Structures are given as C-alpha cells and as structure tokens.
Structure 1
Amino acid sequence: MTEPTIKFLPEDLRNTHSIWLQKYKKNIVTKYGEDGIIDKIFDVIGVENKVLCDVGAADGKHHSNTYNLLKNKGWKGILFEPTKQRYKLLKELYKENEQVLPLFEYIGLDKHTDLDFHLDQLREKIPRNFDFLSIDIDGCDVHIWADVKRYRPRVVCIEFNPCISLDIYFLQARDLSVNQGNSLLAICEEAKDMGYELVATTQLNAFFVDRNDFDKFEILDNSPKAMHFLEDKTTHILMTYDGHLFLAGRTHHPWKHYEIKDDNIQVLPPEYRKWKADGRFVFATQDKEKAL
C-alpha cells in the first residue's frame, strides 16, 4: 500500500495574558520551574501559616515541590511517603529539622486511610486552611484531593498526564493499583467542583488556588488550552474510509520507550481494509459484504 503523507501540526492556543506566571519559573530542585511559580503564587495571595503537606514526597529533594519552602523559606511540613527506601532518604534529609514531619504512611481512599484521617491525627500541627498541598502519586492524585473535606489548602499542586490531549476528560479509576494519571481537563473540571481555579502549569504539574483568591491573578481565561501547550506529546489515531488506522504525534512511550507502529493498532485485517469502487465496504467476512 502506498503510504499517505501525515503531518502533526499542533497549534499553541495559550493566552499570553493567562500564562503570565510562566515568566517566574525557577528551579532550586524542581525540574520545570515549579519553585519560582510557587514563590510567585504566594507573593500574590500572601502566606498565612507557612504549613504544607506533601503526598508522595519521595526522597524529599529530587524534583520536590516542597524542598525549597522547607529548607530555605522556614516552612513547616508533613510529608507522606510509603516507599521504604525513599522514606529512609526523606527521614535522613530532615532528621535535624523539627519543623518537618516525615511519615512512612500510605494515603488511601476510605475514611480510615484518606488524607483527612491522617491529618486529623496531627491536628495540632496543621491548621484547617494550611497554605500548600502537593500531590504526586502517579494515579489517584485527584481522588486523594477530592477526599479532603475537613481541610482547605489554599494552594494545590497536582500532577497531570501530559500524554492526554487537552480536550479529553480522562479521570482514571478510583483504584490505587492503577497508575494511568489524569488529563489536565479532568483535573480542572474536578477542581472547579471543589472551588479551585487553575493559575499555572508546567510540563507535569498544575497549580490551583482557592476560588476566593483567583481574582488576584487577573486571569480571564484559565481553560486548559489557554493555559497549557502540549506540543507534540500526544498520540492521535486517525481512521480512514477503508477502516485503516494511522498514528500521528508521539509514537514512543515517554518512560517505557517502546514504539507504537501502525501495524500494532489495526482492528480490521488487511483483506477487510478495502473500499469498493461501487461504494460498498468489505466488512465482517470475506464472503459477505454490507452496503453502506
């Protein structure tokens, strides 16, 4: 078969007035400028108690959204990490800092394991409206956030899946054994239901503020397409008249690095991928045709 010509030409629809926080990107230990954006967000809304919670804190430093606040800004924090080796590094990092409490704890999805439950055990250390919540658990991030009912973090940083198009609502199953991630659109919609608004993004993280503080940022359009550009990071499947499927955009998994090829995704076998000159399409069996 003669191959078609396919070009993936993503359009940057970001609104320059909506993404003004991008110019404050700066890395102390973060990867995509999150440290600078966090600083500027709190410049805008002010700091009330300098208390944070980090769910999925890892080793506490590598690409951490909270390290700079805890180490350099005098903040207090509760850090949750359920992986033994990472927790060991996390505890070592803050062993001389009494303002930081690393916990070898697993945040679950029921009333006996959710974040509210854990914070209730530490209510003398964390106010109801603590300043900053960071969630990075590669899956049920939104569900963990949505379960927070008795506390009201003023700013939330949450990871999204950058491989999913901005016009697709994808909210992964409420299952901690699943690690699929959530689309930026899904997170924004869920955040709105919780009373939060998007103010900034980086390649992997989205920043939300309580709706009461949103007007301070003077962002008129905070839709995902106005705030973020995925470039060529998404994978698109094209379906042609004859039933052939083609790929456009990203064809390699960004972390596992396997390649997806057109041959891997065909639903119809080759003998059925034909379009008859008389307007009939070969379908279902080799000896039977159904007219359109």
Structure 2
Amino acid sequence: MIKKIKKYLHDIRISIFNMSRNSDIQTRLLQEIYLTQLEASTKNKAMHFEAQVFSQNGEDGITREIMSAIGADSKYFLEIGVDPLVNNTLYLLYEGWKGVWIDAGMLTKQFPSYLQEKIVDGTLNVINSFVTKDNILKVLENNGVPKNIDVISIDIDFNTFYIWQALGEIKAPLVIVEYNASLPKDISWRVDYDLNGEWKGGNYFGASLKAFCELAEQIDYTLIYCEMSGTNAFFVRNDLVEKLPVDFKRGLDNYQPARYFLGRTFGHEREIGRFTIKGN
C-alpha cells in the first residue's frame, strides 16, 4: 500500500513538472512570435540592437551600441538600485570598466567570488546606503566616486526621478532610468517626493516618460530609446546625440507601453564567473 502511495505521489510530481515545463515553452514561443511581429512592425529600428547578457531585458545591447558610437572617456559607471546578478552595468564590468553600485540592501546581497575579487581589487566599489535627493551627492563624495562618469543607471522604483534631478551636475554621456510605462506618453506625471516612499507592487511609482523628457531638456539630455518591455529609457547628452546611428530616434516617439510579460527569464539561470574576453 505504501509503495502504491509513493508511486502515485511520484507520478503527480512528474505530471506537475511536465505541465509547468510545457507551459513555459508555450509562453516562450508566444513571446518569440510577438517579438518578431513587433520588430517587423515597429518604426524604431534600434530594436535590433537589444541584447541581454546580465540586464533584465535588452539593455546590455543598447548600452553597448550607444557607447560604441559616442565613446567612453573614463569607462566608469554608477548604478543606483542594484541586484548583483541582474543589472545594467555588470556587462560593462566584464568589458574592463570600473564603477560603483549603491543600494540600501547591499549588505543582504550575495556576491559571487568573481565580484568579490573585483571589490577587493578596487574595480568595483559597493556602497550600502539609502539615497535621497538630499544626500546622494554627499554619498558619492564621501565614498570617493569621481564626477567623470560615462554611464549612470537609476532604478530605485519610487524616487528615481528625483535622484536623477539631484545628480544634474554630473553630466554622464548616457543615463538610463526606469520610467512608469503605465502612464501614457503625452502626460507629465511624477509621484510626490516621499523620503521613505517604496514601490508596493502597483503602478504608483516613479514618473511618466514625458516627465523624464522635460527634466532631460532642462539638463541638456535627449531621449533616444526605450527598450521594448517598457521598463528603461535611455538618455544621451545633447552634445553627443549626433554621433549615434540613424537607427536611434529622438524624443517621445520612443515611448513603449508596459510589456513586462516580455521579461527574458527563460534559459539557463544567471551565473557569474570568469570569461576570457578579447581586448581586455
């Protein structure tokens, strides 16, 4: 009797596993079909630059293409709001860049040995800090972060708009921010600043793309791309925009609605280790 029960439970587990696997495959196939149709119909030809190495979506490929075109002076990055395994600058670290990661929960995160080595040798500066619009510049200064930064990426969910606004004097060639794609492109909305504001899983967070574009205009930046899931927007400093390939459009026509279901979570699990990279 016990053997029959064990076999029955085993069969159930196998069935559940197969159902889950088949569901994942079907979802991925639908995503691929949708992306193919989207790429064929979109007027935004820069979409084909999207590629994922360590980014959440296709940000790595867009960053690579932009920086290849406009050039990097310091090869130094700043990312605020970081998951060590999924972020917008780990790819740059592998490409020989230096930089800093800032996150309020940094002490709770697990760092693979490769990243630990980069922290020890000074290539990667990791700062555990809760940043606000009033302290961000002081946090950078106190930790020896240079002002000559090539790429800034900000994703702290709630107050992202205000952190970029506070960083206005640091004129990085490329700034990547998370925008609120649930808000239409023709409205300028941003959440009221709240020192302790947190994203609670809904669509009350950050700012609309138009609000970011208005801020960008004030500090001499131009929107040149939004990746296809509607998560991150890419802004390039005005004096460098003309160096970009013609595939990149300018302004609010880059808007992409929220397509978070396109999250590229399929395939092998994220794993960080050493690669032999030609040129480094």
TM-score by length of 1: 0.65
Q: Spell out, residue by residue over 1:206-254, the C-alpha distance to the aligned partner (whole angstroms, 9 max, x if none).
A: 0011111012224795232x21232788xxxxxxxxxxxxxxxxxxxxx
Taking a change above 3 Å as real, the CA distance of residues 211 and 219 of structure 1, as seen in their structure-2 partners, is: farther
Q: Shift of residue 95 of structure 1? A: 1.2
Residues 1-292 of structure 1 aligned to structure 2 (within 5 Å): 16=43, 19-58=44-83, 60-62=84-86, 64-70=87-93, 72-84=94-106, 86=108, 88-90=109-111, 94-97=115-118, 98=121, 99-110=123-134, 113-114=135-136, 116-123=137-144, 125-126=145-146, 128-178=147-197, 179=199, 180-202=205-227, 203=229, 204-217=231-244, 218=246, 222-224=250-252, 226-230=253-257
Taking a change above 3 Å as real, the CA distance of residues 187 and 40 of structure 1, as seen in their structure-2 partners, is: same
**Percent identity of the aligned residues?**
25
In the alignment, the residues of structure 2 paired with residue 38 and residue 150 of structure 1 have an alpha-carbon distance, to the nearest angstrom, of 22
Q: Spell out, residue by residue over 1:246-273, the C-alpha distance to the aligned partner (whole angstroms, 9 max, x if none).
A: xxxxxxxxxxxxxxxxxxxxxxxxxxxx
Taking a change above 3 Å as real, the CA distance of residues 34 and 232 of structure 1, as seen in their structure-2 partners, is: closer
What is the SS of the residue equivalent to 1:134?
A: strand
Q: Which runs of 5+ in 2 are unaligned?
A: 1-37, 200-204, 261-280
TM-score by length of 2: 0.68
Residue type at the aligned position of 2:232: N
In the alignment, the residues of structure 2 paired with residue 92 and residue 232 of structure 1 have an alpha-carbon distance, to the nearest angstrom, of 34
What CA RMSD, in Å, does the superposition of the two structures yield over aligned residues?
2.4
Asked if the contact 1:139/1:176 (under 8 Å) is kept, the reply is no
Aligned residue pairs, count: 209
Asked if the contact 1:55/1:80 (under 8 Å) is kept, the reply is yes
Q: Which runs of 5+ in 1 are unaligned?
A: 1-11, 234-292
What is the SS of the residue equivalent to 1:215?
A: helix
Structure number, greater radius of gyration: 1
Taking a change above 3 Å as real, the CA distance of residues 56 and 93 of structure 1, as seen in their structure-2 partners, is: farther
Taking a change above 3 Å as real, the CA distance of residues 92 and 205 of structure 1, as seen in their structure-2 partners, is: same
Taking a change above 3 Å as real, the CA distance of residues 220 and 66 of structure 1, as seen in their structure-2 partners, is: closer
Q: Higher helix proportion, which one?
A: 2
Asked if the contact 1:158/1:206 (under 8 Å) is kept, the reply is yes
Q: Shift of residue 150 of structure 1? A: 3.9
Q: Which runs of 4+ in 1 moved over 4 A?
A: 90-93, 218-221
Residue type at the aligned position of 1:145: W
In the alignment, the residues of structure 1 paired with residue 259 and residue 188 of structure 2 have an alpha-carbon distance, to the nearest angstrom, of 19
Q: Higher strand proportion, which one?
A: 1
Taking a change above 3 Å as real, the CA distance of residues 92 and 104 of structure 1, as seen in their structure-2 partners, is: farther
